[in-house]
Amino acid sequence: MTKHLRENDRLRKIVEAFPKITVTVLGDLVADEFVFGEISRVSREAPVLILKHRDRKVVPGGGANAIYNLADLGVNVLPVGVVGDDEPGKLLLRAFRHKRIPVTGVLKDKSYSTVTKTRILAGFAHTAGQQVVRLDREPSDGPSPHLRRELILAARQYLRASDALLVSDYGYGAAAPSLLNAIREKRGIDKVPVTLDSRHRMLEFAGVTAATPNESEVEEILGIRIGNDWSRLVAAGDQILGQMNLESLVITRGKDGMVAFPRRHKPVDLPIFGSDEVTDVTGAGDTVIATFTAALAAGATTEEAAQLANYAGGIVVMKRGTATVSQQELLEALEKAPPVTRPH
């Protein structure tokens, strides 16, 4: 059996094991709203397009998208988060129930506004819409002290039956570093691997097993510019590994793929799977951490988990809007092409 066949067989077995694992997700739940309009004419009131409303859809975004991705991969997923008693919140809960995702850990509060990101897309009949503006609606404050306590209790309860904890921090308070610290205080819970996707404060988290930032986030938190400098990228990855005491790190690089940093091993450079002519990167990071976490929970090594996350990322960026990758799509991708690495 050739090396590629052995690798593919190993990756396939990991993906097939997904339905046997359970992952708790502590996350900022976001409603991604897409409003589609057909270009009618230019307004007389201002130099802007007038759009005739054609369609609207609301799908899970942010931490909710990571949850949705895990469910589509066949993983048993247990979400912990907060939504408001409003239409976006109700639509998120409806979407979870449609996928048979338990919602007892999702708190609904009248004083909280569900984070909603509205994208206006314009186009002509029979053409794909182009995003022209995005409007974000955010709560003025994060979850109340009472909601924070309830989030901690729900996460602790779920973790007793989980193989991993995924933390999806978009900065809205439901997945803050202090909450993770409080959750991990309970004896026994610290044995569960923790993966992190944090937009702007990754270095503030402690007790994390693995993280999956993109290159621009790494540049922001370290105050550096990486560009195409491989040695600078490796130095940045090693710095984060050491500073956060991680077991593994994956830095995603858009059309340049991703780099996996296994602790005490050389970094592995993975070219993007499929075409580098990307359709839409919305939510791709959620797909990457969902797949990476599922693979680690199923017993994958850092490189194996990164390879599967790379396949999933390459698939999802070819879809429009906030999308997911299914277990079957991942298996079909493995059949089409063996995993590839770039030498350095």
**pLDDT tier, 140 (very low <50, low <70, confident <90, very high otherwise):** confident
Strands annotated E in the chain: 22-27, 29-42, 49-62, 76-84, 106-109, 115-123, 130-137, 164-169, 194-198, 210-211, 248-252, 258-262, 268-270
Q: Is the pLDDT of residue 59 over 70?
A: yes
Catalytic annotation present for 286: yes
Task: For 321, list phi and psi in degrees, rounded to 5.
Answer: 75, -170
pTM of the model: 0.93
- Looking at residue 107, the DSSP 8-state letter turns out to be E
Query: Among residues of the chain, what percentage have pLDDT more than 70?
Result: 96
The H-or-E segment that residue 95 falls in is helix 87-98
**pLDDT tier, 74 (very low <50, low <70, confident <90, very high otherwise):** very high
Question: Chain-centre distance of CA 144, in angstroms?
Answer: 25
Per-residue pLDDT tens over the stretch 252-304: 998 889 999 999 899 999 998 876 666 667 778 899 999 999 999 999 999 99
pLDDT value of residue 276: 64
**pLDDT tier, 97 (very low <50, low <70, confident <90, very high otherwise):** very high
Q: How far apart are CA 127 and CA 135, in angstroms?
A: 23
Which among 28, 109, 169, 286 is annotated as catalytic? 286
**pLDDT tier, 214 (very low <50, low <70, confident <90, very high otherwise):** very high
CA-to-CA separations, 278 to 263, 291, 306, in angstroms, rounded: 31, 19, 19
Q: Is the pLDDT of residue 177 over 70?
A: yes
Q: How far apart are CA 271 and CA 258, in angstroms?
A: 7
What would the DSSP string read from start to end of 112-148?
Answer: -PPEEEEEEEEE-TTS--EEEEEEEE--SS---HHHH
For the chain, the 3-state helix, strand and coil shares in percent, each to the nearest 5, are 40, 25, 35
pLDDT value of residue 127: 77
Q: Is the pLDDT of residue 156 over 90?
A: yes
Q: Which class for 288: exposed (0-12), middle (13-18), buried (19 or more C-beta within 10 A)?
A: buried
pLDDT value of residue 274: 77
Give the dihedral of Cα atoms 165, 182, 245, 216; nearest 10 deg: 70
Per DSSP, the chain holds a count of helices (H) and strands (E) of: 10, 13
Per-residue pLDDT tens over the stretch 100-130: 999 999 999 999 999 999 999 998 877 778 8
Q: Which class for 272: exposed (0-12), middle (13-18), buried (19 or more C-beta within 10 A)?
A: buried
Task: For 47, list phi and psi in degrees, rounded to 5.
Answer: -75, 65
- Which residues touch 226 (CB under 8 Å, ≥6 apart)? 215, 218, 219, 232, 233, 236
pLDDT value of residue 1: 46
Mean predicted confidence (pLDDT) in 4-27: 91
CB atoms within 10 A of CB 126: 6
**pLDDT tier, 337 (very low <50, low <70, confident <90, very high otherwise):** confident
Q: How far apart are CA 50 and CA 103, in angstroms?
A: 40
As a whole number, the mean pLDDT across the chain is: 92
Domain architecture of the chain: domains with CATH: 3-31+62-113+140-336 (3.40.1190.20)
pLDDT value of residue 4: 60
CA-to-CA separations, 161 to 77, 188, 294, in angstroms, rounded: 11, 12, 15
Could you tell me which of 66, 81, 67 has the C-alpha nearest to residue 28? 81
Mean predicted confidence (pLDDT) in 178-205: 88
